[in-house]
Chains A and B, each alone.
Chain A
Amino acid sequence: MFEELSQHILDIAMNSLSADAKQIEIGVVESRRHDRLVLRVRDDGHGMDADTLRRVLATSASTKRSRRKAIGLGLAFLRQTSEMCGGRFAVRSAPGQGTSVTASMRLSHIDRPPVGDLNATILALCAAERKTTVQLTYHSDGEKFHFDSRELATKGAVPL
């Protein structure tokens, strides 16, 4: 299991890279008022058909099966974390339409892992695939932060 939610995010976004995503949008929303934390990873990769999607969602976290298939364990981990913390988990995907993974949890739930080092997750993703645009939007009770890897490419003196 992961100790931080940002590790879940990295894990899910690695799936996006495997699906040849050109753009990955990561969203983290923390709301004390609604006692909610929502994570979303959305990509424009090649997506999954209904069968694959059903299989992914039905996968239990059985370690024996997971060694044969790369698909399964990561999403199952996130699902487990979110459901354990009083939240919901959903995956939307269709062939050619990308994939969107959303996990919510109760912000104040005692088992909710810390968000952790989002910077490390984004830096690892940017280094992993330089042609893919990585975006992060972080909201926390009115405060907002936005990161877009394309800004780095245009602002800096170094062309990509």
Chain B
Amino acid sequence: MNLEQLKKLKEKAQKQIALREGGKKYRVVVGMGTSGVAAGAREVMTTMLDEIEKQSLGSVEVCVTGEIGMVDAEPMVRVEETGGEKTVYGKVDIEGARKIVTEHLQKGKKVQKLAVGQAKEKE
């Protein structure tokens, strides 16, 4: 850890706070319990925050929850559409986190490959 890296923290946090206001279309919930953190949930969350900031998606809110009870599927991300569907994604890696932002949050298309407990419904 060095101080140069830490100095960027303020700027970064400020940018992300700026995106918090206004009406939200999606709520993204990241599982940040012990198993989630161990599986890389923190990196998934910061990747999503980064991507959301880069694409200026003001209509997305990101928050966290604790253990969900599906430890083997961590890191888990739940995307909730306001007044609509909830999609649970499992085993999300950095690439997957980007995909969820660019496909689901931006274009409204679910990332079927990562979805948990959705496949049967579709068939």
| Partner-B contacts on A (CB < 8 A) | 1-2, 6-7, 10-11, 14, 17-18, 28, 67, 70, 73-74, 77, 114-124, 126-130, 136, 138, 140, 143, 145, 147, 149, 151-153, 155-156, 158-160
Contact = CB atoms under 8 A, between A and B. Distances in A.
Contacts of B13: 122-123, 126, 147, 149, 152
B32 A123 contact: no
A39 to B, nearest CB: 12
9 contacts: A14-B33, A14-B66, A123-B13, A123-B16, A126-B17, A127-B45, A129-B63, A136-B9, A156-B14
Interface residues of B, number: 33
A127 B6 contact: no
A70 B66 CA distance: 9
Q: What DSSP secondary structure best describes chain A's contact surface?
A: helix
Closest 3 A-B residue pairs measured CB to CB? Answer: A115-B1, A128-B64, A74-B34
Chain B contact residues: helix, strand, loop or mixed: helix
A127 B63 contact: yes
B8 interface: yes
B80 interface: no
